[in-house]
Structure 1
Amino acid sequence: MSTTTLAQSANSEEEIIFYDLMCAAPGECWAPHCWKTRMALQYKGVRFRTVWVSYPDIKSLVGHTQPGNPAPTLPVIQHGATWIADSWQILQYLEQHFPSPPLLLPGVSAQTTHFFQCYCESVLSPPVRLCILPKVPAFLDDRGREYFIRTREAALGVSLEEAGRGQTVNAIRVPLGPLAKNLSEYGPYLGGEQISYMDIILLGFLQWFDRADHAAVQTILGMFKSDAGEPVREWYERVKHLAVTRPEAEGGV
């Protein structure tokens, strides 16, 4: 994913334009990385508006933010004359220009938070990705659906159905285990006593899973039930209010 920032001076009072991935349901967020940016904007109460983008239109709209990338990605934000691509780079920008409330907490370094994001992307998500991918086209817009199927099947070398055959969300149990243990011992949030960007990272992935297969997410949330409770489910109940597609002018959570 690109981390390009095309930066010029921007006024913090200027409205941010947020480029998010379209689906068949108008005004509904679903993609995990776009969820991260949306939740960060809303948590900070930043005034923004959304431009919903179908997959085949991404390159023409925001490709200039990711030079050299033949398949540019979302999210992207535009703030005045400043363009930022990549959810992590967007977070850095928001923390600088809209510092309150913070999502990078004093007791949790940016490096630790970035490591957590890398863990979710490279360790937590892959075991269930093939279980989820075949279910994504069902909720995409028509043009996005055709693009998604064509490009993903070309990358995988097989149909989405074949790729997902035999896959199950139970594969997430092992990589999710350390997070459940951390919540049990140091919660109620992933960073301790306060919501942080780590909560948004994990919630973004779970919202993607939930949009594709609600029953699968319920299975995931119940994986670590014990006499002491259900740490992952209890955490999810605390933070799920962050994951809503709000009227942008309202801001805040």
Structure 2
Amino acid sequence: MDGIIKFYDLAPSTSSTHYFSPNTWKTRMGLLHKGVEFETIPATLLDFRRDLARRSNQPHIAAPAIELPDGTFIYDSFRIAEWLENTYPDAPSLFTGDGKLSCDARPEHIIVGKNYARMIDLGLGASKPEWAVWFDLFFPQLDKLIAGDEHRAYFISDARHGPQGYQKLLALDRQELIRRAKMNVQPLVQVLREHPNEYFQGTHPGQVDYVIFGRYAYCRMLDAKLTKEIWNDQGEELNNWIQRLSQAHDRHAQQMFDSCALID
């Protein structure tokens, strides 16, 4: 595809590079996986609701979103992953986990890998308060980043979180949330122990890894110390997996983590 893709990543303000959304991290890693040239454009929650909704003619557009050179917008991390898989067949598949090009993969292999990725996406990769803990746990850290009177007013509003939602999120038991977060991570450690030196998708990283890494990166961008306690310290296998993905693609993720540390 000719031209650079514009990748709209969620940030606390349009001048910030503190990209925190787990969903946009899935897309970022997918773009890197496919070797796609892209430009990152920081966008706030209000940017998605207003400017991007108007320009894309898609009122429900949400992060992540990409804009193609012809002006077409695609949003939703899994929809973008499917688009990348189909549009860049001469790059490694996002769904097979074997490092082979998409054009060389068997269709049934892609389907199985895609279903696996979607299942993880709807489970650990989701932010549903009924079973997920990550958004709630790191909400106070995220709250401190949101800047600008108008943006902040929307962020703390009932329209964003439901009746008294903002106050309820800040009042949650942090220690209980940490306990639940560590429990969420334990199955990941076990899987990696059963498959030494591999990834969740297979012998090579894929969309499943990027869904899980997106959740890690969300935590890491908001609170490095707490993230280490919950993720890295739970097992050598998980820590090694984190390091491999952080160092991939010329240390792309690691450089972003380091830049946030300098800002903090």
TM-score by shorter chain over 0.5? yes
Residue of structure 2 aligned with 1:192, choices 181, 193, 202? 202
Structure 1 residues 1-253: aligned runs within 5 Å: 12-23=1-12, 26-63=16-53, 65=56, 67=58, 69=60, 72-79=61-68, 80-99=70-89, 100-105=91-96, 109-122=113-126, 126-142=132-148, 143-150=150-157, 151-154=159-162, 157-159=165-167, 160-163=169-172, 165-187=174-196, 188-222=198-232, 224-225=234-235, 230-242=236-248, 243=253
2:99 match: none
- 1:23-66: per-residue Cα shift (whole Å, max 9, x none)? 35633422111111112112322122222212212122222558
CA root-mean-square deviation: 2.7
- 1:189-218: per-residue Cα shift (whole Å, max 9, x none)? 112211111111111111111122212111
C-alpha distance 27-245 of structure 1, shift in aligned 2 (>3 A): farther
For residues 216 and 13 of structure 1, what CA distance do their matches in structure 2 show? 42
- 1:94-137: per-residue Cα shift (whole Å, max 9, x none)? 11112302211155521111111112134897123311112102
Provide the secondary structure at the position in 2 that maps to 1:20.
Answer: strand
C-alpha distance 234-210 of structure 1, shift in aligned 2 (>3 A): same
TM-score by length of 1: 0.78
For residues 16 and 171 of structure 1, what CA distance do their matches in structure 2 show? 38
User: What are the ranges of 5 or more consecutive residues in structure 1 without an aligned counterpart?
Assistant: 1-11, 247-253
C-alpha distance 31-88 of structure 1, shift in aligned 2 (>3 A): same
Tell me the amino acid that sits aligned with residue 144 of structure 2. Answer: A
Structure ranking higher on relative contact order (CA contacts 8 Å, 6+ apart): 1
Q: Percent identity?
A: 24
TM-score by length of 2: 0.76
User: What are the ranges of 5 or more consecutive residues in structure 2 without an aligned counterpart?
Assistant: 97-104, 257-264
Instruction: Judging by fraction of residues, say which structure has more helix.
Output: 2
1:249 match: none
The CA deviation at 1:177 is 2.2
Provide the secondary structure at the position in 1 that maps to 2:221.
Answer: helix
C-alpha distance 66-81 of structure 1, shift in aligned 2 (>3 A): closer
The CA deviation at 1:75 is 0.9
